[in-house]
A and B are shown apart, each in its own frame.
Chain A
């Protein structure tokens, strides 16, 4: 891949100018004449039957124009994928605190809130289950839908990987590590809260501007619950103020609520959430309890892994079947084993609910396995980085799933790079000789990861892009995959500019819009660069072919004799003609100046029963080293440095790739040290940024990042991905550094003050108070 002009070179983000000028319009910044403001009545109980729901008092409140409940939808507003267990508004029951029950549209936000508070909603509290370990007890209250296979209704699924028999192998190993690890719920904390704006159309349909990731999912859901054909429902994604996996299911409900209100009121309706409403109502990263047994020989050869875990999906299944599956695939880490089994069971409880969040199961299991690997290295008295190098996956290895890795495995290079950058060997020696009496102790820790790119065996994996040259020679692109802050639009622009040989400034990427873009599946799983990037590449190549014919005609030569220098076309006569003239000539020749590009991912397969197959068509690899200073007097951990080197394939947009890396690390640092969306008896205990702390500029260290570009032959220009995996190894690297500094392991996240100082949690008494107040007033 030589002589690339745009791909891999410094570039400006295509949407940055409006953002730095304050001109970008997010949903909450949009307003229309006659627009109404909406608000949703939300459950104050974690599990209850709706005995009476009378919305007529709300309609008597001055300014209230319309109210909707589940009765205003088809099939009680039921939706959800892969399990249809959700409703746009609660039907008969509520299953968590914050669940929407009825929505009100009014002339002002104040009148909408007054309307919500006027609704008569009588609830009969039901027994609830909050501990995932008791979700499947025979007498546990039913949370999940009825099922006919005789299994417990609170059971969502079992996700296995099976290679050999580690139970037989473990006793044969020289050293066995057997430990429990636990993670807690994490809030996405996107700065822009949820919101949607619905506009009724003259023909009885609705247009919804929705802050979300995957517009075709709510478009299809809305068709179903509103009983409208696809041509009457249009979902447009305006600029999105962060998502990280978080703006799907809950905001699909927002879409349903504002759409139904707009159709009823025959006026535009906008809903935006307060921070409190956002945190109370929204789904989180789910919590996980893991038991990991590892076996190795004295020479440092890792031989067996037995991983068992319970995953709490909370009140709804949301994306948990997929999250749990991805967790199972990555649970053993990026290592070779003779025998390896993974068993993950996923259950319903009444503790909020869990859905997609950056890393999607891998963040959770990586915090367990990467600590277990460190504990094994300690037991073997081996350097943990050396131990990883000895056992990590390389080209030619077969993974525990049975997949031969034939290319693009840069993990060893990542580990070697962070070892050098961090001065690892010297620091490990130096920190081993710290005075035992010193109150402030330093440590370094390492963590490695692999992360399957795109959906894997979760579903059909293809994407479509369109490209068009307009009368003024501007080029426009559409993709069915969105850019919710990631930089994807800039990636598309650079790929199209590279293929067409034109300046990126000529290209404009449209907002994702179900009326103009093609359904390309969900914008998840860090799949945008490979899937949408490849589809843009194919579309641009299809368009380029027509321009090449026009150039050859103009230059009076064969197509193969035409070549391009900058934006000029040159033939045997050496006389250049500009791109604009070629485009004009193509028009005169009657050649079409638009094209379509579809790219399908390589075929893969997973056997859900046998737990074997080819789960993903490619993997991202990476390694991070964290250096910490722990104050033993206060329990405070200061992360002084992080070195992060990831194999993301070819880097297309360098500033964007580094931005993803640094940002991912900030999520991982928060996850490792203080983020815990604690629920007590179903009530969230932190509902704004005064108590739910995310890293500030002072908490983040200066990060030294780098990329190994182990080219992936099917990726656009050899690219893989970066978004999710950037955060995955950060928390375990920090936990391993704390163990190196203090000699103590913290096996339950986060490593907050009390766990670091006392080695245990302080007993906390929860309160439902703040949730109840916030749902009524803010």
Chain B
């Protein structure tokens, strides 16, 4: 079937089977491999995307259900020049990245939180990350990166655009 939606700020139209997940649509049909497959039961968050701005596990979303909606993947998160945005830079600075497999999902989860909460507490950050598993980091430096970004964005009158 033909599925029309907004993918990383551009309208797209794709002919895909109706019985696949959004995760499979992104990885197999758009070759956007930044969104990871790790459990396929909605437990790990490695496949996180922003669906109409909200955090979603793309492995639990039926591909046809994104018709007419807005999907942002990790490939759609960057600074205006295409480099890392402030959140991604803080992941690097704070040492939040190890094997990196969960990191696209973590960045997405961080953006989803910061879109609705400008200065979250560390506990609120932890709550927002509770659906995203990381086996490497113990989460400390990921929380640090999101906390630092929140402070940075709160201090700036015009927070850096996270997408273009």
CB < 8 Å neighbour of B98 from A22, A188, A193, A659: A659
Complex contact A696–B133 (CB within 8 A): yes
CB < 8 Å neighbour of B134 from A191, A658, A665: A191
- Mask: chain B, 124-154; 1 = CB below 8 Å from A; 0 = not: 0111011111111111111100000000000
9-residue interface stretch from A220-228, A414-422, A480-488, A517-525:
A480-488
- Report if A25 contacts B (CB, 8 A): yes
- Report if B163 contacts A (CB, 8 A): no
A20-B91 contact in complex given A191-B101, A659-B137, A703-B138, C-beta closer than 8 Å: yes
Complex contact A21–B74 (CB within 8 A): yes
Residues of chain B in range 96-139 having any CB-CB distance to chain A below 8 Å: 96-104, 107, 122, 125-127, 129-139
Complex contact A275–B34 (CB within 8 A): no
- Mask: chain B, 20-50; 1 = CB below 8 Å from A; 0 = not: 0000000000001111111111011010000
For B78, what are the chain A residues with a Cβ–Cβ distance below 8 Å? 21
A274-B40 contact in complex given A16-B92, A655-B95, A666-B135, C-beta closer than 8 Å: yes
CB < 8 Å neighbour of A700 from B43, B131, B136, B139: B139
For A28, what are the chain B residues with a Cβ–Cβ distance below 8 Å? 33, 37
- Interface centre among B34, B39, B99, by most A CB within 10 Å? B99
* Residue of chain A at shortest CB distance from B76: A22
A659-B92 contact in complex given A484-B99, A688-B43, C-beta closer than 8 Å: no
Interface residues on B, range: 35 or more
Complex contact B100–A24 (CB within 8 A): yes
Complex contact B122–A22 (CB within 8 A): no
9-residue interface stretch from A238-246, A405-413, A462-470, A574-582:
A238-246
Interface residues on A, range: 35 or more
- Report if A338 contacts B (CB, 8 A): no
- Mask: chain A, 259-285; 1 = CB below 8 Å from B; 0 = not: 000000000000000110000000000
- Mask: chain A, 36-53; 1 = CB below 8 Å from B; 0 = not: 000000000000000000
CB < 8 Å neighbour of B97 from A16, A244, A695: A16
For B43, what are the chain A residues with a Cβ–Cβ distance below 8 Å? 688-690
CB < 8 Å neighbour of A662 from B33, B100, B140: B140
CB < 8 Å neighbour of B132 from A485, A690, A697, A702: A697
User: A109 to B129, alpha carbons, bound, how many Å?
Assistant: 32
Complex contact B140–A190 (CB within 8 A): no
User: A20 to B95, alpha carbons, bound, how many Å?
Assistant: 11
A697-B100 contact in complex given A20-B91, A22-B75, C-beta closer than 8 Å: no
A697-B101 contact in complex given A21-B34, A25-B33, A193-B38, C-beta closer than 8 Å: no
Residues of chain B in range 34-79 having any CB-CB distance to chain A below 8 Å: 34-41, 43-44, 46, 73-75, 77-78
Complex contact A688–B73 (CB within 8 A): no
User: A381 to B131, alpha carbons, bound, how many Å?
Assistant: 44
For A16, what are the chain B residues with a Cβ–Cβ distance below 8 Å? 91-92, 97, 100
For A12, what are the chain B residues with a Cβ–Cβ distance below 8 Å? 92-93
Complex contact A655–B138 (CB within 8 A): no
For A767, what are the chain B residues with a Cβ–Cβ distance below 8 Å? none
- Report if A75 contacts B (CB, 8 A): no
A20 to chain B, nearest CB (A): 4
A28 to chain B, nearest CB (A): 7
User: A664 to B77, alpha carbons, bound, how many Å?
Assistant: 30
- Report if A404 contacts B (CB, 8 A): no
For A666, what are the chain B residues with a Cβ–Cβ distance below 8 Å? 135, 137-139
- Interface centre among B32, B94, B98, B125, by most A CB within 10 Å? B98
CB < 8 Å neighbour of B95 from A240, A659, A695: A659
- Report if A19 contacts B (CB, 8 A): yes
User: A2 to B18, alpha carbons, bound, how many Å?
Assistant: 64
A604 to chain B, nearest CB (A): 31
Complex contact B139–A239 (CB within 8 A): no
User: A662 to B36, alpha carbons, bound, how many Å?
Assistant: 23
- Report if A232 contacts B (CB, 8 A): no
User: A509 to B140, alpha carbons, bound, how many Å?
Assistant: 27
- Report if A564 contacts B (CB, 8 A): no
Complex contact A191–B92 (CB within 8 A): no
User: A23 to B43, alpha carbons, bound, how many Å?
Assistant: 23
B94 to chain A, nearest CB (A): 7
User: A661 to B126, alpha carbons, bound, how many Å?
Assistant: 19
A121 to chain B, nearest CB (A): 26
* Residue of chain A at shortest CB distance from B129: A697
User: A190 to B44, alpha carbons, bound, how many Å?
Assistant: 11
- Report if A361 contacts B (CB, 8 A): no
B149 to chain A, nearest CB (A): 12
Complex contact B139–A191 (CB within 8 A): no
- Mask: chain B, 80-92; 1 = CB below 8 Å from A; 0 = not: 0000100010011
User: A655 to B136, alpha carbons, bound, how many Å?
Assistant: 13
Residues of chain A in range 642-686 having any CB-CB distance to chain B below 8 Å: 654-656, 658-659, 661-667
- Report if A120 contacts B (CB, 8 A): no
Complex contact A697–B126 (CB within 8 A): yes
* Residue of chain B at shortest CB distance from A698: B130
Complex contact A659–B141 (CB within 8 A): yes
User: A654 to B95, alpha carbons, bound, how many Å?
Assistant: 9
User: A147 to B125, alpha carbons, bound, how many Å?
Assistant: 57
- Report if A72 contacts B (CB, 8 A): no
Give me 28 A-to-B residue pairs in the complex whose CB atoms sit less than 8 angstroms apart, sorted by A's number. Answer: A12-B93, A13-B97, A15-B100, A18-B100, A20-B91, A21-B75, A21-B84, A21-B88, A22-B33, A22-B35, A26-B36, A191-B44, A191-B134, A239-B99, A239-B100, A244-B135, A275-B41, A485-B98, A485-B136, A655-B94, A659-B96, A663-B137, A664-B138, A666-B138, A689-B39, A700-B126, A700-B138, A703-B140
Interface residues of A (CB under 8 A from B): 12-13, 15-26, 28-29, 188-193, 239-244, 274-275, 484-487, 654-656, 658-659, 661-667, 688-690, 694-698, 700, 702-703, 778
Q: Which 9 A-B pairs have the closest CB atoms?
A: A22-B34, A655-B95, A485-B99, A19-B100, A662-B138, A22-B74, A241-B101, A29-B33, A689-B43
Interface residues of B (CB under 8 A from A): 32-41, 43-44, 46, 73-75, 77-78, 84, 88, 91-104, 107, 122, 125-127, 129-143
